[in-house]
Structures are given as C-alpha cells and as structure tokens.
Chains A and B, each alone.
Chain A
Amino acid sequence: MSATDVTTRTVARTAAPPKRWGSLLRATLRILLSVSVTILGLLALTFFIGRLLPLDPVLAILGDDASQEAVDRLTARLGLDRPLHEQFLSYVVNSLTFDFGESLTSGRPVIEDIARVFPATLELATLAMIFGTGIGIPLGVLAAANRDSWIDQCVRVISLIGYSAPIFWLGLLGLSIFYAGLGWVGPPGRIDIVHQYDIETWSGLYLVDSAIAGQWDIFADVFGRIVLPASILAYGAMAYISRMTRSFMLEQFGQEYIIAARAKGASKRRVIWQHAFPNIAVQLVTVVALSYAFLLEGAVLTETVFAWPGFGRYLTTALLRADMNAVLGCTLLIGLIFIGLNLLSDLFYRIFDPRTR
C-alpha cells in the first residue's frame, strides 16, 4: 500500500464516519450468518449422535415385554415413524426453543433440570475464572519480564504441570491433603445439609445469595467448600492464561515502541504496565473467554470428584444411565455457550482492536 493510499483512506474515514459503522454492521451480519450455519451444523451433529444409539429408545422405555400395539403407539408419539428429514426439522425447531425433550431418569423436561443445576456450575466456574485470571496474568507478565531467568523456568514448570496433570487426580489429592489431612477446607458437596433449607436463594449462586441475605455462617460454609474445587479447576485455566500472557508480552517487548519508551527513561515497571500491557488486553480477553468455555469441560470431571450438584455431574449421571435426551441437551448447550463466547470475543476484538478494521 502506498503512502497516498493511506492518506486517502484516512481522509475518507474522517470525512464519513458512518462508513465505518456500515462496515462494522456488514461484518456483524456476516458473522451472524456464519454462526447460524454453525449452529445448524451443531444441531445436525447432535441429531446424528442421537441416531447412532444402538439401543432402541422405544424398547428402552417400555422394556422387552411390551405389546406391539404399545410399541407402535410410543413410536408414533416420539415421532420415530416419520421420515428422517421431518424428524430433523422438528428437532431443530424444538432445540431452538430450548425444548430438549424429557429426561428419562427424572421425568422432567431436560431444560428444567439444566436450569436447576446450572447455577452451581456457573458459580464454580466463575470463581475458578477469577482465580485463574488473577494469578495467571501476573505470572505470565512476570515470566516475560524475566525471560529465561529462574522465575521464567518456575512459571514454565507450574504451567506444564497444570497442562499435564489429570484434573480429577488433583482433586482427589487436594481433598486428601487439604480436607482430610490439614482440615483447611470443607468436605465435598456444595453446602452443609443443615443449611440446605435455610439459605434464601434467588440467583442460585450460594455465595452471592448468602452474602446479600447477611447469612455469614452459611457464606463461610459455602466458601470453605467451593474454594478447593474452584482452585483445582482454576489451575488448568491459569496454566493456559499465564502461558499465553507470556508469549503476548514477549511479542510486545520485541517492538520498537518499547525500546523508545525505555530510551526516553520510563522505568521497567512503567513500560510493562503502561505501555505493553494495554496492547495485549484485547488478545487476553479472547484467551479468557476461551478458557471460560474449557472450564465447563473441566467441571464435568471436577464435579464428579467433589460431589458438586452441577451441570457436569448431571451430564455424567445421564451418561451412565444412557439418558440420551439429557446428554444431547447438555452437549448442545455447551456447544451453544462455546459459540456464544467465541462470538463475543470476536465482536470485542473487532470493536476494540483498530487493526481488525
């Protein structure tokens, strides 16, 4: 691009600001279109997985001894006698209205079950996110600022272990050390049975609810129980975030404006936090959004270990009982959350990073 090109473009941009919004709008529409195609694909995939089932869903409900008439009736009621494309169409319509069918084990609509268990996971994952980001970013900056020193090596080892250790194993070790051994944290489970019916919940997030209601004894009990699973869950996210922060920072340190800032006499601390860090903030948001989505994955295993009555345990229980409606409902929801987070970070990127315009 020649110098004149740049000037004309700058002039055009300052002269007609609506143009920028127009292009932003077009970009947004394009993203929305591609997201809808992806969501349709998502539905096709879960529909396909549902058809893979070697188990006949009608026989699973009625048992082997059912009469032919009953089998036919249920087949018709479940819509299994209709052509495949009609089944898929009604599946799409139902799913988009969050009607995932009834859970075979609880007998309630899957979406009601999910709404009931989701706050527990949301609370766990959010706290883990706060821990992971709060520790991961400073560690990454520290490692980058002291590249190849012993600090860098330590951070590297810590994050390598975070990548490599099976999270369920860390959970079990954590329980036997910090709960059984040292007694620093509460037992597995989300809340003491004594408080189970005392807590006034409206958001389903026990920490928030008990704090608002001023029930501090309950707050202490809940916090004592959530702190260990949240920390274990946070470890993996922290490993990822610190590593990405380190490489983003190193990329900035190689730029000339950093040398210029150092040359004019800015202190190292000032260069790191005032000059380099703001430039990686947008990239970091993407990383944090992505790791939030992966926390949902980690939650499946963590919740099993900590008897946490959340989304992950609901999913694994459904899996072991071959409750396909519940399994596919959960899978679809995680896919949607994943796409949503990606979309958000993408839009965020476009709005706050001038280079993408």
Chain B
Amino acid sequence: MSIAQDHDRGGWRAWLETEQADSPGQARAQAVWRAWRGLARNRAAFAGLAVLVVLITVAILAPVLAPYPPYAQDLASRLLPPSFEHPLGTDDLGRDILSRILYGSRITLMMAALVAVIAGPLGLLVGATAGYLGGWVDVVAMRVVDVFLSFPSLILALAFVAALGPGIENAVIAIALSAWPPIARLARAEALTVRHSDYIAAARLQGASRFRIVVLHVMPICLPSVVIRITLNMAGIILTAAGLGFLGLGAQPPSPEWGAMLASGRQFMLTNWWLAATPGAAIMLVSLAFNLLGDGLRDVLDPRDD
C-alpha cells in the first residue's frame, strides 16, 4: 500500500531515483535511467542519437517522403542542379537524388544492422566461451582473433569479397567476418571477470552444463559492453560498407546505395558536383552520428575519465 502511495506522490521519477531499490527490476530500471540521464546531459551524444532516430524514421518512411521513385529515369531532366522540384538535383539518368538518398538510408541501415546481428553474437559466443572455459580453447580462440586483427578491416573485407564475389549480401558477410574479433576479445575479458564468481559456482553445483552456463550465465554479463562496442564500431562499419560500394564490390548500380552513388557520380564531380557531394555528405552524417553517440555512451558508462 505504501509503495502505491509513493507512486502517486512522486510518480515514476521518484521510483527511478530513490536511494534504495526494492527489487532487481527496479535496480535495473534505475541503471538504465541513470545512463539515459547521463546521455541526455551530453549534448553531442544526444545530437548523435537524434540524427540516428531521424535516419531510422526516414528509412521507414522513405516511400512516403521521397518525391520520386528511386529508379525512375527522366532523360529530359538529367544533371539538373538543385532546384525547387529536385532539392538535391538529378543524376546522369535524370533520377532524383534526394529520393535516391532517402531510399539509400534503408540499404545503409540494413547492412549495418545485419553486420551487427552476425558479428555481435559470433564475437559474444567465441569470447564468452574462450573466457569461461580457459585452457587451450582460450589460447586457440585468442590466436585466431589475433590473426584476424593483424589485417586492417577494409583489407580483410576486400579479400573476402574477392573470394565470395561482389554484392550486398557478400559485402555484409565480409564486413561481419572482419568485425567480430574485437568483440570476441572484449567478451572474453568480461567473461574472465565472472569466471570464478559465486553465482557461476552455484549454477555449476546445480548441475548446469558448460554450454548452459556460457549461454545463460556468462553471455548476459558480457552483453552490455558488447552492445556499446558495436555502437562504437558502427561508424567504421558504415564507412567500410560505403568504401566497398565505392570500389564497385558492394551494392551494385542501379542500387541507390550511397557509396555506389558516389562512385557513379564521380565522373561528373568537376562539372556537376552535387552528384557525388550529396551521398558523401549523407555517409559522413551517419558515421558522425554514430561516433558522437558512441563517445557519449563511453563517457556515460565508463566514468574512468573523470
């Protein structure tokens, strides 16, 4: 009864800011709330978050927002400079650049999300297993990670794409294959810290299998730092994806992927700058937003800097 009254008086805010949490759920909610407050105070990080929210909205609403279909050619109005009808101009086939960029946000976000979905769990599983089991599993896994890390990520992705063949799906696989090792290393470090803790021992005494302990008890502990790490790496992932598109190894024309658009606008750079300038600016905006958000998240969750 008294708890209900507290709710009435202070509302959610009081519940979230009270000194002593009454339940694990409340403690967890409070941690999220504190992180959110920290993020909201950090203006740069908040701006990054805002840009990303807008971008996701744009990607979802692309068919509504785009003034023209992304593939619609109109050779009569090719290479038009930015104007009222075509806010960002038209390309060499008379396609509206704004519409293409709006649709392109879908491809960029989808690639980034797919890479995160593949590389995140892969790195998490390898790292948590290596850290928890230790011994030769750990040695072998960390050697493999070292080998992958001895290439700059773009170079490794290039080699994989060369073997798999160009295209969006293969680009995603290639980037994911070069993105998981740092995540595995991080997850291993986290797993090492809980390896000898009491709750793991309790689970083991209850007869839980190694697999069960790794998946249900170790991996959830590693999850938060892995998520942050992926956010931090997202800017690099997007730049790599755009780089592959630019080199003609990722998305193929006529796809409105930004890197590929930039590559096809390149020959008109000196005469019709808007063809290449706008997709490049879009890439930079997204990567900047991820960098700002990642920096902010790190500041909020890693208070060592203070």
Please report A residues at the B interface, Cβ cutoff 8 Å.
37-38, 41-42, 44-46, 49-50, 52-55, 160-161, 163-166, 168-169, 172-173, 175-176, 180, 293-294, 296-297, 300-301, 304-305, 315-316, 318-320, 322, 324, 327-328, 331, 334-335, 338-339, 342
Task: Find the B residue at minimum CB distance from A301.
Answer: B243
Chain B neighbourhood of A166, CB < 8 A: 239, 242-243, 246, 259, 262, 280, 283-284, 287
Q: How far is the CB of B260 from chain A (nearest CB, A)?
A: 12
Determine whether the beta carbon of A38 is less than 8 Å from that of B158: no
Chain B neighbourhood of A176, CB < 8 A: 269-270, 273
Chain A neighbourhood of B283, CB < 8 A: 166, 169
Question: Among B159, B243, B280, B288, which residue has its beta carbon within 8 angstroms of that of A46?
Answer: B159
* Bound Cα distance from A193 to B217, whole angstroms: 66
Question: Among A55, A301, A342, which residue has its beta carbon within 8 angstroms of that of B247?
Answer: A301
* Bound Cα distance from A18 to B250, whole angstroms: 56
Known: A52-B163, A176-B270, A319-B162. A334 touches B280 (CB 8 A): no
Q: How far is the CB of B149 from chain A (nearest CB, A)?
A: 9
Q: Mark B257-280, 1 if CB is under 8 A from A, else 0.
A: 001001000100110010011001
Please report B residues at the A interface, Cβ cutoff 8 Å.
143-144, 146-148, 150-156, 158-165, 235, 239, 242-243, 246-249, 259, 262, 266, 269-270, 273, 276-277, 280-281, 283-284, 287-288, 291-292
Determine whether the beta carbon of B246 is less than 8 Å from that of A301: yes
* Bound Cα distance from A305 to B247, whole angstroms: 10
* Bound Cα distance from A130 to B150, whole angstroms: 23
Known: A53-B163, A175-B269, A301-B243. A331 touches B156 (CB 8 A): yes
Query: Can you name 13 A-B pairs with beta carbons within 8 Å?
Result: A44-B147, A54-B165, A165-B284, A166-B239, A166-B262, A172-B262, A294-B152, A296-B152, A319-B158, A319-B161, A319-B249, A338-B151, A338-B152
Top 9 A-B residue pairs of the complex, sorted by shortest distance between their CB atoms: A169-B280, A41-B147, A297-B152, A52-B163, A164-B288, A164-B287, A331-B159, A327-B162, A180-B270
Chain B neighbourhood of A338, CB < 8 A: 150-152
